[in-house]
Amino acid sequence: MILRLGTRGSRLALVQCEEVAAALRVRGVETETVVIRTSGDRLAQVALADFGGKALFVKEIEEALLAGTVDVGVHSLKDMPAELPGGLALAAFPAREDPRDALLTRTAGGWSALPTGASVGTSSPRRRAMVLARRPDLRADPIRGNVETRLEKLSVGAYDGIVLALAGLRRLGVSPPHVLPLDLDEFVPAVGQGVLAIEAREADREVLELLGRLDDTRSRSEALAERAFLRRLGADCHTPVAGHARMDRDELTVTGVVTSLDGATVLRGSARGSASGAERLGQVVAEALLAKGARTLLDARGNG
């Protein structure tokens, strides 16, 4: 059997796909990489929130899965909507990379290196809100493009700083100067950040079994909790939402945040319990935030 792996064509996406392919080859499974250009790639210069959000990075890959032109989809979990199309399943979550965000600045000093009014490039409403919550005097300016493009924009002075996922830098083996990993409790990551999601058709039982060998117990528990949190909120790309689960032995701590786009309003909740109840823990955190008034923020359509 040769498994056709569908992926985006960015360098990071190809590195992630090769990570999955290598793990399968070790287990005696042959693979073929199929590059699929997604709507998110084609709309490289526009605000994703105006055109369907990060789900645009997975849409065409899922269509290829359903059409049978690929057997497996390899995604960054943070790009995936809370609900999957009918007929598809998340077969495996390999071991998670570092979930933290990082602040990259042109000069040393992290936050303190940024003067009042400095421009920080960020591609998501969540990061924008958290930058402004940390430093309301800064400008959170939109930025698009792959990791290399964003690093180039920083180096030429288009921005004074940018915020990126640490996982992407590590997977690419990139070590730019002046990188400050951001505290998980203050700068809560996106749901699924650092996790690879391996998707397949529900009917392909043999494929699901093969892919299941790549599953990491800790990653799965954390991913399920975070996705249950997102699903219960009914959140979309228009509102800054953060969710992170951390497993310690058999105990899971889930933290969720919903904010206004300007970072002025921050609602936070957390729950702790057995990893066996991961999805329920995620739902509990979402319900706590809804009880605090998160629905008002979630329904605010000016946030896109």
Q: Say which CATH number the domain at 271 has.
A: 3.30.160.40
In a domain, 117, yes or no: yes
| Lowest mean pLDDT across 98-102, 116-120, 141-145, 298-302 | 298-302
- Write down the residue that tokens 């090769």 correspond to: 18
User: Average pLDDT in the 180-204 region?
Assistant: 97
Regarding whether 92 and 34 lie in a shared domain, the answer is yes
Count of structural domains, the chain: 3
Pair 4, 75 in one domain:
yes
The pLDDT of 195-204, averaged and rounded, is 98
Provide the pairing of β-strand 139-142 with 119-122.
Answer: parallel
How many other β-carbons are positioned within 10 Å of the β-carbon of residue 66?
A: 14
Rg of the chain in Å (alpha carbons): 19
**Same-domain status, 40 and 155:** no
Answer yes or no: do 73 and 200 share one domain.
yes
Residue 282 has pLDDT above 50, yes or no: yes
pTM of the predicted structure, to 2 decimals: 0.92
Q: Give the DSSP H or E segment for 80.
A: none
Question: What range does the domain containing 3 cover?
Answer: 1-96+195-215
Strand, coil or helix: 113: helix
Judgement on whether residues 168 and 232 belong to the same structural domain of the protein: no
Polymer length of the chain:
304
Enumerate the active-site residues. Answer: 79
**Which two structure tokens, joined as six digits, stand for 35?**
């590059």
Residue 64: closest CA among 42, 86, 34, 23: 34
